[in-house]
Structure 1
């Protein structure tokens, strides 16, 4: 899946009307995202950002123009030319280089992002490695950006903390926009496209909010107001998974966060509708190739970071 700029000239693919349910809160309640401001102002010359395990980025280009260069790899544009105010979201570790005209520079505000769950985070798994969107495309974004720039231009007591929270607001607004325009950022299948579908979104939101409910294909289809056969076919076509496989994967993804938080396996099993702790352990081992205990030990091991920006 390639990173790409929004193509304003292309005709939009057919989409269902925007769902009336809250598609973000349930996911963000389980998988938080924390932002940390690290730069505000001009960036001149060449600036390199290394691929550090667990590190994502959100860059806001306020004015100016520049090139962004990436290493040669499948699914990523090697060179992006930014010629207008833009958002650049890096959802996972990816080295990138900013090349700016030295005589002009570019006015930037940048934050690192910590996606809870790492590569198991639903947004990290569902989005391209790079998302590039002009600021003018995201309706309602400007007030948050005005506050963000005001806090970063003149430091006051608590400015960094406020800027971090405002970056998170900008990210949520961007995610909201992506849910309404998945094809514009290159999403053609998976969770994001499912949440963009008015019928499937109702079921996906319900699964996210109540993972421990004894869901059946019939109850999932009923939530979407569809027949079982039509729901199963649409769900698989849009997300690339069967409803049962998605539910099982979602429960195990939540189990990872609970195990990391040192919750007892027996209580996790009860909360996520597994018949027993041993049943959860078997499903976990089949999915991840290791037991919950082994997985927890890996998470508590000291992280090894690369040097970089």
Structure 2
């Protein structure tokens, strides 16, 4: 797997949830902070306003995408002057994969596609920790065409579910998350506003070395070999990698190997010897010692303690009629 695919894979737990909501003015909804989740909103029809905490109102129009990678709360409303309802949305309680809803009112309709992903903060890749509290991707002609296509398909599937909708919606929600993150990194790079991990992922040389580590963590990589993957001298590569990623190449490789091992312990029935070999340790003993230093417990105990997280969703609860 490449770096971005791995970043998404290690942080996700449970199944994502989504809902297509038709809001009729006047309306104002507060979406609460939900630790351990990430949420999105997409304007499918009409317009509305984002009222961020402590910030100026932001006008949203058709095609705009909002993403809240750290589960922070926010307010959406038909107008900045509309009274805002208390939060009635708990992304962790709904059981359905997707649904549609309508919020009654006498005014014009705004249709939003919203949803949530359940995340485990303990598993978060450092690239995601650096993301801002909110990402706003305005609709612009010719930009992020794959993101727009995923939004259109997801909205259509939820509006008129057909045979196979569970599979298609689940897959499209995964694609939507990928396309949102890709669009953010691409947009930052285009605007020369990236730093840290965002720059590392858009840097062709450093990204090549990262991809090599992620695709084959069991390989006995050396700094010289990784520099060769990057097409740089050993010294220049080590300096640049450490500056962008925040730790030296082999320190990051160790972290990634143990992160991969933890995922295998949670999600597979592979033996400890198999896992140690798959992440580059020559013996089960060496792997167990390294794992305990990182996670504070032996691999066997970690596996026994692992349990699935509850599912995620993001559904409004004020005057809602589900359809």
Q: Give the TM interval when normalised to the shorter protein.
A: 0.7 to 0.9
* Residue from 139, 147, 157 that aligns with 1:141: 147
2:220 corresponds to which residue? 214
Listed one character per residue, the Cα deviations across residues 215-234 of structure 1 (whole Å, up to 9, x for unaligned) are: 00000001111100000011
1:204 corresponds to which residue? 210
Partner SS, residue 67 of structure 2: strand
Q: 1:212 to 1:133 in 2, by over 3 A?
A: same
1:120 corresponds to which residue? 123
Matched-pair contact (CA < 8 Å) for 2:264–2:275: yes
Partner SS, residue 135 of structure 1: coil
CA distance in 2, matches of 1:257, 1:286: 16
Runs of 5+ consecutive residues of structure 2 not aligned to the other structure: 80-104, 317-323
* Residue from 212, 224, 230 that aligns with 2:230: 224
CA distance in 2, matches of 1:283, 1:253: 11
**Higher relative contact order (Cα pairs below 8 Å, separated by 6+ residues):** 2
State the structure with more CA Rg: 2
Count of residues paired in the alignment: 282
Pairwise mapping of residues 273-284 of structure 1 onto structure 2 (< 5 A)? 273-284=280-291
CA distance in 1, matches of 2:187, 2:295: 32
TM normalised by structure 2 equals 0.73
2:96 corresponds to which residue? none
How far residue 202 of structure 1 moved from its aligned partner, in angstroms, is 0.8
Asked if residue 272 in structure 1 is aligned to residue 279 in structure 2, the reply is yes
1:61 corresponds to which residue? 43
* Residue from 150, 160, 167 that aligns with 1:154: 160
How far residue 272 of structure 1 moved from its aligned partner, in angstroms, is 1.1
CA distance in 2, matches of 1:308, 1:147: 20
Runs of 5+ consecutive residues of structure 1 not aligned to the other structure: 1-20, 72-76
Partner SS, residue 128 of structure 1: coil
How far residue 303 of structure 1 moved from its aligned partner, in angstroms, is 6.5
TM normalised by structure 1 equals 0.76
1:287 corresponds to which residue? 294
Matched-pair contact (CA < 8 Å) for 1:135–1:141: no
Asked if residue 40 in structure 1 is aligned to residue 20 in structure 2, the reply is yes
Matched-pair contact (CA < 8 Å) for 2:186–2:202: yes
